[in-house]
Amino acid sequence: MQAVKTIEIEMKKSLFLLLKLAILIVVVFWLFKIVDFNKTIDLLSKTILSYFALAFLFHNSSNFFITLKWYKLAKPLKLKSSYLDLLKLNFISMFYSIFVPGQGSGELIKGIKLQKKEGDIEKVWAPIFIDKITNLLVMLIIGATAILFDQHFNQNKVLVVTVFLLIAIFIFLSFILFTDKITILIEAVKDILVYFLKFLKINTDCISNFSLNYFNEYKNHKSIIFETFFWSFMTKLPHVFALYFLAKSLNIDINLIESAWLLSVISIASLLPISFSGLGVREGTLIFSMSKIGVGSSEALSFSLLIFILGILTGLIGGIFELKSLFKKQPEDVIARSATTKQSHPRHKL
């Protein structure tokens, strides 16, 4: 019976992998059909490095804000990790997000690593969960608001009304996040995550055991909701400027408003766990979205590839931190084994 169950799990994993490959093949085929790759390579070769450097700086400055927000969320729960520890973990999570499908993969590894250090599931995952949800909500609010001010879209009455309703829903969800009303939503999200991770044969104990007792701690810190959303906005604004300067580096004419809603579109597309670091999905999404503001497919593809390169460079910083931590552990393991050996074979004095 166990063998049959194992075969079923492996078949599901294989089917999921085949589905991902099929989607990627379709996207790549579509890209080859509509994009002039020679023009794309030419555009990339003419990248203005000074603007690219500015984009890199803005992109990475966001990590300092998001870590400060995470640190403030963790403080009422009395986590032992310092600001620097959490900053390193943020960079490390970006490193793993490059190689593992879906942005959530890096967050999962970040949580597991912190859980080993802190030894408390609830205290570790509660701030991470709130951090991701508030970031998503703020990003959607910024993106939706930008659409209202964009001349390409604000003439469409149906779109404007829809966006207003979405903003109202996002703001409502934002304010109930620190109340007991969010319990139903969290339980629904938990069930979906557990089902998905079990489908991929990934241990779900850390999510299944996640409780909502942290509400009792946050109730004593009334100002934390405002601090959380303030730092969420501060986290996303540098990304808006990063996209703006990336476009400038390719001489693509977009403004900050367009950069804001493009950020929202890219972030949502990158959440889909069907490719590595959003490759293919992000390119297709950007080509379609930027065509609405008069940007050609070759320019949009060049822009998307620069975003990917920016992510790689940021991830490499996390890779350096991860390598340092691995090398640091090795001498400690040697010392521990040496001490164990000495205890097992004590020297006898003559």
pLDDT value at residue 349: 43
pLDDT value at residue 350: 37
Report the first-to-last Cα separation within the chain, whole angstroms: 62
Q: How far, CA to CA in Å, does 283 sit from each of 49, 150, 223?
A: 22, 22, 40
Residue in the block written with tokens 């164990």: 340
Cβ atoms within 10 Å, residue 154: 13
Contact 264, 143 (CB under 8 A): yes
DSSP H helices, the chain, are 2-34, 37-45, 49-74, 83-99, 104-118, 121-149, 157-176, 183-199, 205-208, 214-218, 224-249, 256-270, 281-291, 297-344
The contacts of residue 158 (CB under 8 Å, 6+ apart) are none
Question: Which burial class, exposed, middle or buried, applies to 260 when counting CB atoms under 10 A from its CB (0-12, 13-18, 19+)?
Answer: buried
Query: At CA 179, angle to CA 177 and CA 181, rounded to 5?
Result: 90
For residues 60 and 83, give the distance between their C-alpha atoms in angstroms, rounded to a whole number. 16
Give the type of residue at 203: N
The token pair at 214 is 């942290």
Q: What is this structure's pTM?
A: 0.77
Residue in the block written with tokens 């299944």: 208
For residues 17 and 22, give the distance between their C-alpha atoms in angstroms, rounded to a whole number. 9
For residues 230 and 224, give the distance between their C-alpha atoms in angstroms, rounded to a whole number. 10
10-residue mean pLDDT profile of the chain (350 residues): values are: 56 65 73 81 93 95 91 82 89 81 68 78 75 83 86 82 82 71 70 71 64 65 80 92 95 93 85 66 86 90 92 89 77 52 50
For residues 19 and 82, give the distance between their C-alpha atoms in angstroms, rounded to a whole number. 41
Contact 228, 130 (CB under 8 A): yes
pLDDT value at residue 173: 74
For residues 5 and 127, give the distance between their C-alpha atoms in angstroms, rounded to a whole number. 35
The token pair at 274 is 């069907």
pLDDT value at residue 348: 46
For residues 92 and 323, give the distance between their C-alpha atoms in angstroms, rounded to a whole number. 10
